[in-house]
């Protein structure tokens, strides 16, 4: 019998009692590493320049600035995945950028005591109004407009600041850049809310701020070098720049490289847009990638960066526990449901999904849910319609299978020799052969089946191929025809009666 030792030298003559440990038969892959990265704008000049792990909402506020884009994203993510590893990369506004602005004009005199209800960026601002209050300041008494500005500034996590003059409230985004143009300004959003009698409130015509311009560039200096060598399964960006040179394109290119077989640190990019069904379908149609997911909920008052971060948190928490679990009917906390009249009907929802946008939907109680999570992948390299990477769950399962198989094989056979079948070796010799390799992948496939990740073992066993590489004596090749498990998303029934 020949036993191989890795640590005890074969030529040792010194008297010793030595015992080494071999964990190759006990190797277990454990849970898949799952780190999450948010990239967004800070308002604090002294914000960390590199990737920083975040453990609480208060820490994000302190490091990046209350109401900053990146701090709001961290809050939204943590509402849905409080115990997952979360990292943030803060970007500073460009010095010559422009902050989005908007105004609320108040006229009249209140004839009743009642609150003013505002939603700014999906966050509630309530302003107390007493009968007799005038719109403008009068003889040292703040008017309604001034009270609105004060109430806005008291909500530290709002993405805006406010000032008032002569009955006009000027609202300014805390961050410069295009994303500020998606900050909504809404009054009386919920049923039963109304403006106090005697007052008239005029909001921005578009319903959002405007005039924000010039975003921080995503490039090797601002992003690439700072995340190099890291493996983030989830990447959320605060920008929705869908142009060829924007932040989305830059992160996609990085993830495409990481997806490949020589790197194998795959991840998914999440971002969102604001506005109408057309805005979402346009965004989805512009991309065709299994590494991009655009969560979509039309006409929500919540900011796109919040929608993306909250959705990504919900998805990451689900997929870490089970990569194949259907990403449907899970609540997404921190996103405001659209008004009932603005919610999509079935043909509109179907159009959203066909354009490669993940569907979020709202329940009657206002809770927002994942409805169906698709990637933007719609066709193959030849331009032919292809659904192979359509479901985000498929991407998660493939990622897990690759990682688990590599970890299992590498952990069990880190120092194995390689030989053809048909030879006999002494006990204790670790020699990999095609038949042993086939036995290992068949065993692992059964394990994957036990976890509900794959199906049809007999078909797999009949088609799996393990062979020596004809051009490389040190390589063993595996063809693993995995049949991924599916998700129950649609049930079709017919009740036929007489």
Structure confidence by residue, pLDDT tens digits, 206-226: 999 999 999 999 999 999 999
pLDDT of residue 127: 97
Residue 141 · residue 60 · CB < 8 Å: no
Residues of the chain with pLDDT under 50: 1
Pairing mode, if any, of strands 116-120 and 99-108?
A: unpaired
Judged on CB neighbours under 10 Å (0-12, 13-18, 19+), 384 is exposed
Residue 159 · residue 42 · CB < 8 Å: no
**How far is residue 217's CA from residue 95's CA, in Å, rounded to a whole number?**
12
Query: Which residue(s) pair with 295 in the sheet?
Result: 358
Which candidate, 42, 189, 160, places its Cα nearest to that of 101? 160
Query: In percent, how much of the chain has pLDDT > 90?
Result: 88
**How far is residue 485's CA from residue 112's CA, in Å, rounded to a whole number?**
61
What does the CA dihedral 286, 287, 293, 294 come to, rounded to 10 degrees? 0
**How far is residue 330's CA from residue 107's CA, in Å, rounded to a whole number?**
44
Residue 295 · residue 358 · CB < 8 Å: yes
**How far is residue 286's CA from residue 278's CA, in Å, rounded to a whole number?**
12
Residue 379 · residue 385 · CB < 8 Å: yes
pLDDT of residue 72: 98
pLDDT of residue 1: 41
For residue 5, which phi and psi values (nearest 5 degrees)? Answer: -110, 140
Residue 129 · residue 77 · CB < 8 Å: no
Mention every residue, 6+ apart, whose C-beta is less than 8 A from residue 115.
126, 127, 128, 129, 196
Mention every residue, 6+ apart, whose C-beta is less than 8 A from residue 426.
1, 2
Cβ neighbour number for residue 98 with a 10 Å cutoff:
16
Give the CA distances from residue 43 to residues 22, 202, 303, in Å, rounded to whole numbers and listed in that order.
52, 29, 17
pTM score, whole prediction: 0.93
How far is CA 127 from its chain centroid? 34
Residue 209 · residue 280 · CB < 8 Å: no
Residue 411 · residue 27 · CB < 8 Å: yes
Query: Nearest 5°: CA angle at 281, between 275 and 284?
Result: 115
Judged on CB neighbours under 10 Å (0-12, 13-18, 19+), 142 is middle
In the three-class reduction of DSSP (H, G, I as helix; E, B as strand; rest coil), residue 385 is classed as strand
Query: Which residue(s) pair with 471 in the sheet?
Result: none
**How far is residue 110's CA from residue 123's CA, in Å, rounded to a whole number?**
24
Give the CA distances from residue 388 to residues 266, 332, 380, 393, in Å, rounded to whole numbers and listed in that order.
17, 26, 9, 11
pLDDT of residue 240: 76
pLDDT of residue 493: 94
What are the tens digits of pLDDT across the range 51-93? Answer: 999 999 999 999 999 999 999 999 999 999 999 999 999 999 9
In the three-class reduction of DSSP (H, G, I as helix; E, B as strand; rest coil), residue 100 is classed as strand
Could you list the beta-strand ranges (E) of 402-455: 417-418, 431-432
Hey, what domains does the chain have and what are their CATH numbers? 35-92+216-393 (no CATH), 99-202 (3.90.1160), 417-498 (no CATH)
């Amino acid at each position: 019998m020949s036993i191989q030792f890795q640590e005890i030298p074969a030529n040792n003559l010194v008297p010793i009692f030595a015992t080494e440990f071999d964990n190759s038969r006990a190797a277990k892959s454990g849970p898949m590493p799952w780190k999450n990265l948010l990239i967004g704008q800070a308002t604090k000049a002294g914000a960390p320049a590199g990737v920083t792990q975040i453990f609480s909402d208060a820490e994000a506020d302190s490091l990046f600035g209350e109401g900053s884009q990146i701090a709001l994203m961290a809050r939204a993510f943590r509402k849905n995945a409080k115990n997952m590893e979360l990292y943030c990369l803060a970007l500073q506004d460009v010095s010559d950028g422009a902050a989005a602005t908007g105004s609320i004009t108040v006229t009249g005199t209140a004839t009743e005591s009642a609150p003013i209800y505002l939603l700014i960026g999906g966050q509630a601002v309530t302003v107390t109004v007493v009968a007799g209050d005038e719109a403008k300041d009068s003889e040292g008494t703040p008017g309604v407009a001034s009270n609105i500005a004060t109430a806005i500034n008291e909500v530290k996590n709002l993405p805006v600041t406010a000032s008032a003059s002569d009955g006009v409230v000027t609202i300014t985004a805390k961050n410069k850049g295009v994303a500020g143009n998606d900050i909504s300004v809404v009054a009386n959003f919920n049923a039963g809310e109304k403006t106090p009698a005697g007052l008239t409130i005029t909001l921005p015509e578009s319903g959002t701020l405007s005039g924000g311009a010039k975003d921080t560039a995503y490039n090797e200096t601002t992003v690439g070098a700072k995340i190099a060598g890291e493996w983030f399964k989830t990447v959320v960006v605060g920008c929705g720049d869908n142009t060829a040179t924007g932040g989305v394109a830059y992160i996609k290119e990085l993830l495409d490289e990481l997806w490949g077989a020589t790197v194998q640190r795959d991840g998914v990019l999440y971002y969102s847009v604001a506005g109408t069904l057309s805005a979402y379908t346009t965004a989805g149609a512009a991309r065709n990638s299994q590494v991009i997911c655009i969560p979509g909920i039309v006409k929500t008052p919540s900011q796109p960066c919040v929608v993306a971060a909250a959705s990504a948190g919900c998805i990451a928490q689900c997929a870490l526990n089970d990569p194949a679990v259907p990403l449907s009917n899970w609540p997404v906390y921190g996103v405001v449901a659209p008004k009932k009249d603005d919610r999509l009907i079935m043909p509109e929802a179907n159009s959203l999904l066909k354009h490669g946008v993940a569907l979020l939907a709202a329940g009657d109680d206002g809770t927002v849910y994942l409805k169906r999570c698709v990637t933007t992948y719609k066709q193959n390299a030849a331009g032919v319609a292809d659904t192979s990477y359509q479901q985000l769950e498929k991407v998660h399962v493939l990622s897990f299978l690759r990682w688990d198989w590599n970890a299992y094989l590498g952990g069990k056979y880190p120092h194995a020799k390689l030989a053809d079948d048909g030879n006999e070796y002494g006990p204790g010799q670790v020699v990999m052969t095609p038949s042993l390799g086939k036995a290992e992948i068949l065993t692992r496939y059964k394990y994957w089946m036990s976890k509900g990740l794959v199906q049809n073992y007999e078909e797999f066993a009949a088609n799996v191929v393990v062979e020596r590489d004809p051009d490389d004596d040190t390589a063993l090749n595996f063809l693993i025809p995995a049949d991924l498990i599916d998700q129950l998303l649609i049930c079709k029934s017919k009740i036929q009666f007489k």
